[in-house]
Chains A and B, each alone.
Chain A
């Protein structure tokens, strides 16, 4: 089974070809980050327009290594939600047009399940059960992935997602958007112990990063935010606080679920300190799977992986799809 996968839920226009056996034949991502950087965040209308302009070319490029192009694939997987409504509508409608033109069957998949199943592409022998920490610009979730058709949300953020907190603190520090890589860079030369920031641990594996963000705001009132040393030290202290909070909750969740495997996924999982810390903490207690950075940030290969799982469990979709911006994360 070979699937053409399409992802347009936010600001990355992506297409990939993924084959049974968890082989990624191609993965093409046209990032819009630069176009949105001047606005300090994703502008939904601009994102939808850019998807329309780029999707055809991105799909053509993804099909290049496939003999016969579209005739060489067996089906199409597309993100149906959650995400930005205009962006999802472009991907879903495009995929439906393509499916009707070619007679290929279509399967709509959950973007968040895609993030988790990127782990299968990284390490194909990974089988449930496992606990996954999914951290991105829109989500900070802990899930118990018992089986492909049995996924339970253990905890989530009560306010800002981790990625969102990175963006907001980056702005306070005069750093560019997206904030994650910028804070990472600034923190590289910083002393994380100079400013001690809180580790917001909520019960029931939940998160709250809004208080941490406010703590940075108050801290900066007494400092000179144009001093590069201050920026580096605050960035390092903030990054450490976020990472320690995430890892502490992941440890608690894994222990509570009694699993011996943990997965870290989503855009923030490309953060070097988070990857290192998780590997270190779980070294003796659990298998750790963290996909390579290009499989953590939004991509279509993960949508292909989710499409393979969904189509094998439930078959392809017989009914026409609609974009579902409010689709519950990890819902089947």
Chain B
């Protein structure tokens, strides 16, 4: 049995196939549209012919088309195989690229047009846990005070605004390792394909 994990909310989509124990069996990074993602997924599943027992999809916030395509692909695949789908926040995926060394961290990501997406996380045994929902800030909008006090900064795109000092955290693991970690620690019981709600889309970013 294998678990398929995909994050298409970023330009370089991450596709990972995990063993039952959570080891990365095969992974791909894809730039390009739905067609290229499909090609890489086909390739990935051919490389590891183990039956897929569930799919984990990053549900946003992130690229408008990427998030929707990834979710739709996951729903179609899960319905076709009769396996559950797991959804996880995309900023949580970013958080998992660094070791939870303790305390809190702020994840920042570009929302396009000078806007920012941010979410606070705190460290726990199960990795990073979100402290409240993600926030979308327009260009020039004041930063929330809680962001300024966050001890750690995860800023893979190097977009920290002036009010935040750089605290030196970058992607410590690759995206595939982060997705693997999430799949083994954070996935929960999964959702049948026909019970996915639209809440994922509330904070979809502005990269139209």
Contact = CB atoms under 8 A, between A and B. Distances in A.
Given A60-B194, A97-B72, A321 B80 contact: no
Contacts of B78: 97, 101
Contacts of B201: 45, 49, 52
Contacts of A93: 34, 37-38, 68-70, 72-73, 76
Chain A interface, >50% SS class: helix
Interface stretch (B39-47, B109-117, B118-126, B148-156): B39-47
A100 B45 contact: yes
A98 interface: yes
Contact of A86 (B33, B37, B39, B68): B68
A320 B79 contact: no
A322 B42 contact: no
Contact of A101 (B39, B65, B80): B80
Nearest to B195: A56
A52 B68 contact: yes
Chain B interface, >50% SS class: helix
Interface in B178-201: 193-194, 196-198, 201
Interface residues of B, number: 33
Interface string A83-113: 0011001111111111111100000000000
Interface in A43-57: 45, 48-53, 55-57
Interface in B30-68: 33-39, 41-42, 45, 64-65, 68
A286 interface: no
A100 B79 contact: no
Contacts of A70: 80
Top 10 A-B pairs ranked by shortest CB distance? A101-B80, A97-B76, A97-B77, A320-B38, A98-B76, A94-B76, A93-B72, A320-B35, A97-B73, A94-B72
Given A95-B76, A99-B80, 17 more contacts: A45-B64, A49-B198, A52-B71, A56-B75, A56-B194, A86-B65, A89-B68, A93-B34, A93-B70, A94-B75, A96-B76, A97-B73, A97-B77, A98-B76, A101-B77, A320-B37, A321-B38
